[in-house]
Chains A and B, each alone.
Chain A
Amino acid sequence: MTTLLWILPLVPVAFGLAMLGVRDRRLFHALDLASASATGVLVVIVARTVMRDGSLRAAGVFAADAVTVVFLGLIALLGLATAIYTIGWMRREVAGGDIEERRLPAYFALVQAFLATMLVTVLADNLGVLWIAMEGTTITSALLVGFRRDRYGLEAAWKYIIVTTIGISFGLFGTVLVYAATAHALGGAAAGAMNFTTIAAMAHRLDPGIVRIGFIFVIVGYGTKAGLAPMHMWLPDAHSQAPSPVSALLSGALIKCALFGIIRFHTIARGACGPAFSGRLLLLFGLVSVVVATPFILTQRDLKRLLGYHSVEHVGIVALGLGIGGPVGTYAAFLHVLNHGVTKALVFFVAGDALGRYGSRDMGRIRGFLRAAPFAGTFLMLGAFSLAGTPPFSIFVSELLVLRAGIAAGRYVTVAIFLAMVVVIFAGLIHHAGKMAFGEPDEAVRRGGEAPSGVLAMGLLAAVMLLLGLTVPPGLDRILTRAAEVTLGS
């Protein structure tokens, strides 16, 4: 079973390498789908094993527990949806001349490499491997962000790679400090002194002072990559300039991988310095993110930038959940990771369609989207309502849980600020979405002709979104509960 953990990230790598030699577009999509399906199957097997045995380990490099499974599932689901969506999207891009046919192998191979690095990130047991993989995601995705090679794309890519690389170096420093604490506690560099499972098991023996400094470095470092304010400066640029399927992966999966890193260190810090310290920091960053994102969401004109800022807000909500802590808050944080990932990817797919139809990301010029594209328009409205936190969609559930945990923990001020911001964002978002969806589109705008693959991908995500809003399936519930337990170190 442990070899499974090695095979899992190798699947996208193998398919990616195979794609480099392909010339036929249909074959690309076939390989893309095959890779996503294979990954999905493996993830399901891993999930079942983990839920049966508690955890899976491979040679001190990789390990899987319930937390891993949550993130693995998200990456696999979004990988599959993106693979489906890319079929129709790519046909239009190539036809429109936005992407040259000869650069297709590079695109598909990079996406596979990006997925592989994300899988390694969440599978890593060794915190050094975690860091290396995280930097790997930066390198691969930076190339994708700048894939269009125009002025804006390159600017966004440069900002992205510089800012996140700075951040990530902080993360490495934090890792080194935690390693120093562990080596000290073990009385020398023993095997496994960098492994999360070892460190978490002996977290109470670590020196609190150095772990505290280390956690500050980590939350600033990986927080940069996760898009926590005020280190979020790269995020709206990269999300808006990347090709739409990549935007979906960035927002849906990548920033969650960075959260995964923070969660690992959160567990260690809880063990070493008690629950108050890291929780309070997460609460602070979460609140700042929610507050900072709000005005930008209200005044935004660019559709994809709007979604980018919205990701900042939602990462903030996850951090709030983790910061409030307790079984409920942590459970809510994990649920929110899934909900936001799915919903945001859906809306980025819609945005990709709108971008192709209207030739602009300016929300002032997108009118009558429901007329022009009935399916995508419907999904836009569904997604917007879900993102804004309306029942019966999934985000409502996780936000409500965060609120409940906050009230139960007696953090009334935090809850009040959070509520106020959510209400304001609700109004702003529905306003934006309504203006785009209703009305009569211009004559020049292409009507109908929605790619079946695109509708299928959006439908898949929308179904998950709705399902999670109505009920959390028992299997998933067990995984999330277990993930919260692992995070809280019990």
Chain B
Amino acid sequence: MGRATPWALALGQMALLVLLGPLVTGVIQKLKARLQCRRGAGILQPYRDLTKLLRKGTVQADTAGSFFRAVPVLVLASTCAAAALVPVLFAPPAAGSASPLPLGDAILLLGWLALGRFLTAVGALDAGGAFGGMGASREMTVATLVEPVLMLVVFSVSVVAGTTDLGAIAGHLSLRRGSFGAPDILALFAMLVLLLAETGRIPVDNPDTHLELTMLHEGMLLEHSGPGLFCLVLAHHTKQIVVMALVQALFLPWIPASTAPFALALGLGAFAARTLVLAIFLALVESSYAKLRFFRLPQFLGIGFLSAFLAVALRLL
């Protein structure tokens, strides 16, 4: 039972998340289709879409600069970096000294995600299209509402663990599983609201549409094509699974504390099961709610904000 997380394991976890990301999207799409009494595309459809994009050439707007080309790669890179920081299969037991290689700091994780978001928005502005600009401005508005709440949620949990190291938090929580107090419940609800916003799902954004009035994320991708679009779409899938893994690490931390192959397999199974639960949650919400008007969003995200705030307050009082 090693204290340190081997580099290989961290990279393996990252690769796993990047590879599984499209699958999760596919599963959600399939669930949604079923809930709406459609047959829907197969769960591997996102992979097919991605490979299709790789085969296509790139078309670039005349107004776009050379930076525009670099954006997709940078976004994918920052998202992958974020993916390396979440504990998925393994969480070091929190007892005593910090591990030589910290699995990941929560604030750093949020920083990587924010960087990805920022780069996407900048890229959209760089292309000079009207939709891109609108999408970017809306995305950043949502970001200002979402990111502080995300911070609050992380704080509310890290107050207990006494660290912002995600691995340590998950490990600490694994030790005292079952004691799920009032602040945890509120923080979990806040996190679920955020999950909808961060994955660009229905009350906040509509992932299935290119209708100009409703799109946030899609608007920013409009000017991209070919391999560039491949990077951005893959980054989006990855971000989704990373946020889901973050929810699990903070609130459903049944993560093995050993690197034995059997434990790792168990961890993978548990991760799959929990992710499926979250996917079902997303599909249910998407099927039963309508997208909110943009100016109603602060109100919706306010639910998350207040819940997270109360979670922190209850912890401290």
Q: Do A and B come into direct contact in the complex, CB within 8 Å?
A: no
**A interface with B by C-beta (< 8 Å):** none
